[in-house]
Amino acid sequence: MREYDFSFHAFIQGIILIGFALLMLWFVLSGNIVYYIAPKMMPFVYFGLVTFFILGIVQVFRSTKKNDSSGAACTCGHDHRIPGPPIVKLLIYSIFILPVLMGFVLPDRALDSSVASNRGMIYGSGNSPSADAAQEAGRQTEAAETAEEEQSTADEYLEDPEGYMESLEADTSGTGEAPSPDEMDEHFTVEDFYDQEGFDQYYVELAEKLKHEDVITVTEDNYLDIMTVMDVHLDEFIGKDIEMIGFAFREPDFDDHQLVAARFSMTCCTADAGVYGTLIESSHAKEIEEDTWIHVYGTIKEGEYNGYRLPVITDADLNEVEEPDSPYVYPSFRF
């Protein structure tokens, strides 16, 4: 039986660890790390880079010892040898080596419309109320109020049956007070359908600030905040001019004058990336190819798509631009 060569395997493992460290260093130095990791995660990248490099060096030094069998004699009670024939060991090492090689060889690029089609577009901030949701919320609230009124009537009758009957006769004879027009016209606003957190003071103050700006400029830093404000306080922004940058995307059922200016949002890494889009209406929309980065300048109006009330940028001027240094947008966590 062939003896297990601990030194050889330690060398291979050391090279793999150093390879991962060099790959992360390459991403950091080239700036392409923005395609895969959110900025707030960079401290973990630096930690991993240094750790992998140190462990790799240790493994390489271990491999220089002849007949090193410390892996089997570390008294941890676990057999550190890779089981199976050489082909199995090769397959196991390939799982780690191939990602390193592909990371250096394959071109780095931002997520595009093909990924957006698979994951589904989120319009605005994803907080737009749907017509069905609003109607359902209204029905539930009405049912709750009816139940409360019935309970109140029963309590009133049980406390004073004669007084209750007298007041009922007075109402039916026309002496009771009719509901006021305001009470009859009571309706539900979008604020009724969200919890308090969604109407945090931060968004109220941001909406007040944006209302006084001649043009709302959407950037990588404020993208999600402005999308949220426009969803929640859309009525206050109708008619205002807005400008933004995004990549072109189309739904299959779009008309020729419609497209979406989209951005991917990343909280941690590409695994959790979601794509957000703003509906654009322009006579030049059909001239724009998908995945083209465009600068959009137009006027906000109220629109609807798939039953959702949305801000739509109309009469938009569309100009092709270079992909921004940071193709993704990130949550601000300002509140």
Residue range 16-50, pLDDT digits in tens = 999 999 999 999 999 889 888 888 889 999 999 99
Q: Give the max Cα distance, the chain.
A: 108
Residue type at position 62: R
- State mean pLDDT over 279-295: 90
Condensed to tens digits (0 to 9), the pLDDT of residues 86-122 reads 899 899 999 999 999 999 998 887 887 778 777 778 8
Highest mean pLDDT among 66-80, 103-117, 164-178: 103-117
Distance CA 238, CA 231 (A): 11
Distance from chain centroid for Cα 109: 19
pLDDT-based confidence at residue 181 (cuts at 50, 70, 90) = very low
Parallel/antiparallel/unpaired status of strands 293-305 and 241-249: antiparallel
Q: Could you give the domains of the chain?
A: 6-64+83-105 (no CATH), 191-329 (2.40.50.140)
Distance CA 46, CA 53 (A): 11
Condensed to tens digits (0 to 9), the pLDDT of residues 251-268 reads 888 888 999 999 988 888
Q: Do residues 305 and 279 lie in contact, with contact meaning Cβ atoms separated by under 8 Å?
A: yes
Sequence-ordered list of residues with C-beta below 8 angstroms from that of 9, at least 6 positions apart, any chain: 71, 81, 82, 89
How is residue 202 annotated by DSSP?
H
